[in-house]
Structure 1
Amino acid sequence: MNSAKKDRIDRLAATSGGTVAHAASATDVDAATGTTSAAPTTVADAGRVSGGEGVSLLASAWGRLRRNPLFLTGAAITTAFVVLALLSPWLAPHDPSAQLLYPEIRQQTNPIPAARPGFPLGADWFGRDLLSRLLVGSRQTLFVGVFATLGGLLGGLVLGILAGAFGGWVDALVMRIVDVMLSIPSLLMAFSIAAIFANPSQLTVIIAIAVVQIPVFARLLRGSMMAQRHSDHVLAARALGVKKAPIVFRHMLPNALGPVIVQATLVLAVAIIDAAALSFLGLGNPDDRIPEWGQMLGASQQYLAGYPHLAFYPAACIVVVALGFTFMGESLREALDPKTRR
Structure 2
Amino acid sequence: MVLNANSKKARIDELAESTARSDVDAGGIKDGEGVSLIASAWERLRRNPMFIIGAVIVALIFLMAIFAPLLAPHDPTARDLIDQVSANHQVPDAQDGYPLGGDTSGRDLLSRLIYGSRNTLIIAFGATGFAFVGGLILGTLAGALGGWVDSLVMRIVDIMLSLPSLLLAFSIAAMFGRASQTTVIVAIGVAMTPTFARLLRGSMMAQRSSDHVLAARALGVKPSAIVFRHMLPNSLSPVLVQATMVFATSIIDAAALSFLGAGNPDDTSPEWGQMLGKAQDLVDAFPHMAVYPALCIIAAALGFTLMGESLREALDPKSRR
**Shorter-normalised TM range:** over 0.9
For 1:1-342, list aligned pairs within 5 A.
33=9, 35=11, 37-38=14-15, 40=18, 42=20, 47=25, 49-50=29-30, 52-107=32-87, 109=88, 111-342=90-321
1:3, CA displacement in angstroms?
Answer: 12
1:87, CA displacement in angstroms?
Answer: 1.6
More helix by share: 2
1:302, CA displacement in angstroms?
Answer: 2.0
Q: Deviations over 1:120-161 (max 9, x none)?
A: 111111111000000011100000011100000000000000
Q: Deviations over 1:3-40 (max 9, x none)?
A: 999xxxxxxxxxxxxxxxxxxxxxxxx65646482464
1:59, CA displacement in angstroms?
Answer: 1.5
**Matches of 1:32 and 1:298, distance apart in 2:** 85
**Matches of 1:46 and 1:2, distance apart in 2:** 32
SS of 1:328's partner is: helix
Give 5+ residue unaligned stretches, structure 2.
none
Alpha carbons of 1:32 and 1:175: their partners in 2 closer, same or farther (altered >3 Å)? Answer: closer
1:241, CA displacement in angstroms?
Answer: 1.0
Rg: which structure is higher?
1
Q: Deviations over 1:260-295 (max 9, x none)?
A: 000000011001111111122222221111111111
SS of 1:285's partner is: coil
The ranges of structure 1 where at least 4 consecutive aligned residues each deviate by more than 4 angstroms after the TM superposition are 1-5, 30-34, 38-48
SS of 2:286's partner is: coil
The farther-off stretch of 59-68 and 127-136 is 59-68
**Matches of 2:261 and 2:288, distance apart in 1:** 20
Q: Which residue of 2 aligns with 1:11?
A: none
Give 5+ residue unaligned stretches, structure 1.
6-29
Aligned length: 317
SS of 2:232's partner is: helix
1:83, CA displacement in angstroms?
Answer: 1.3
**Native 8 Å contact 1:71 1:331 kept in 2:** yes
**Native 8 Å contact 1:282 1:295 kept in 2:** no
Q: Which residue of 2 aligns with 1:22?
A: none
Alpha carbons of 1:225 and 1:31: their partners in 2 closer, same or farther (altered >3 Å)? Answer: same
TM-score (norm 1): 0.87
**Native 8 Å contact 2:23 2:30 kept in 1:** no
Q: Which amino acid aligns with 1:281?
A: L
**Native 8 Å contact 1:181 1:215 kept in 2:** yes
**Matches of 2:134 and 2:24, distance apart in 1:** 52
1:51, CA displacement in angstroms?
Answer: 6.7
1:47, CA displacement in angstroms?
Answer: 4.4
Aligned-pair identity (%) = 62
